Amino acid sequence: TGPLTQAVLSLLDHADFVRRLEVRANADTPEDAARARRLGAQGIGLCRTEHMFLGDRRALVEAMILARDDTAREAALAALLPLQREDFTGILAAMDGLPVTIRLLDPPLHEFLPDRTDLAVRIASAARPDPHDRELLTAVERMHEQNPMLGLRGVRLGLAVPGLVAMQVRAVAEAVARRLRDGGRPRAEIMIPLVGTVEELRLARAEAERVLAEVATETGTTPDCPIGTMIELPRAALTAGRIAEVADFFSFGTNDLTQTTWGLSRDDAEASFFPLYLEKGVFAASPFETLDQEGVGRLVELAVKAGRAVNSRLETGVCGEHGGDPESIHFFHRAGLDYVSCSPFRIPAARLEAGRAALTGAAGGDSR
Ligand code: PEP
Ligand code: MG
């Protein structure tokens, strides 16, 4: 390594020495996890499991969600279980000894279901339409949503599809048991997305705990698997004190929290009137890139404070895009979060910025 690389490395060492914020990665493959680790990630703050259900597995997901009856759904879930177990085993191996926060399935539903126009065209243009296609179209139409981002996502899907939470939690628990048997140090955490009320978390958590206990008995292991929630709806932030009674950790989903606090579509806003707003100075920067401290940030601060007041061991982090944004990192440091989580390629800059925040941040210290 040349002198410049040496200088950067020693700067990073220095930042690591002074920073209080941990830096984790958003990663959902063993390759990304390994890359993030090489760049200094101290764990995975967000493993998005919906990315594991695309490609070849789409048909199984369709079958699970649109299943005609319990038997069909159970068959799809049984086929998904070993695939998920492999997914998690690989990621836990790549991050051995470090926390891996596995988020239960959180897709916008339309990304998983077949397109209804395509289906209708296929039926209309077939000489003898496949009866399965007709059945599928009826099911897809029944589940069609005008606003999928505000629809059957996250914990809502977990509660609506019997066996889904259990399948994913079982896959995590079995992967942990396997890693333990192989002498590893797996540290899986289970994260429930898009919670709006403590009751949703209570139900999902009870199901997760039931399955963890089941697998513990079957395998003779006692995996320590914290269960927490994302805070990504204003209502969750406003009722954080209640939610913290049932959560081991909070992870702020600032992408959705920005969308829902502002009433702006994540998918459309930047392409529509954002350029005009930036030009007119309504925004200094896109609130999806740099945290809106006055609005979204207030909700973060409020939730951290309320959550810790009832649960002093509550871990707090952020896993939205803002976790890798320099200015936002300074804010998260001041708000007293435990970690930021960002894309692997942003890890070195986040480490540096967390170090700078510790040196320059006004309030700085842990707010506990
Ligand atoms: C978020 O909403 O900030 C988040 C991390 O989840 P996703 O981007 O997957 O909705
Ligand atoms: Mg989200």
Give the nearest ligand 1 atom to 46 CA: 5
What is the residue with the minimal CA distance to atom 1 of ligand 1? 253
Distance 238 CA to ligand 2 centre (A): 17
* CA dihedral angle for residue 254, residue 257, residue 259, residue 263, rounded to 10 degrees: -150
**Ligand 1 pocket mutation pick from 28, 53, 250, 319 by most atoms within 8 angstroms of CB:** 319
pLDDT single digits (tens) 115-145: 889 889 999 999 998 888 888 899 889 889 9
- Ligand 1 and 342: CB distance under 6 A: no
pLDDT tens-digit readout, 244-297: 999 999 999 999 999 999 999 988 888 888 899 999 999 899 999 999 999 999
Can you give the pLDDT at residue 366?
Answer: 47
pLDDT of residue 223: 78
Give me the sign of the Cα torsion angle 266, 193, 110, 144: negative
Q: Which residues of the chain have pLDDT under 50?
A: 364-368
Give the per-residue pLDDT at 270: 80
Q: Is 367 in the pocket of ligand 1 (CB under 6 A)?
A: no
pLDDT of residue 63: 87
> What does each C-alpha distance from 144 to 39, 116, 132, 227, 352 come to in angstroms?
42, 9, 18, 31, 45
Q: Is 225 a catalytic residue?
A: no
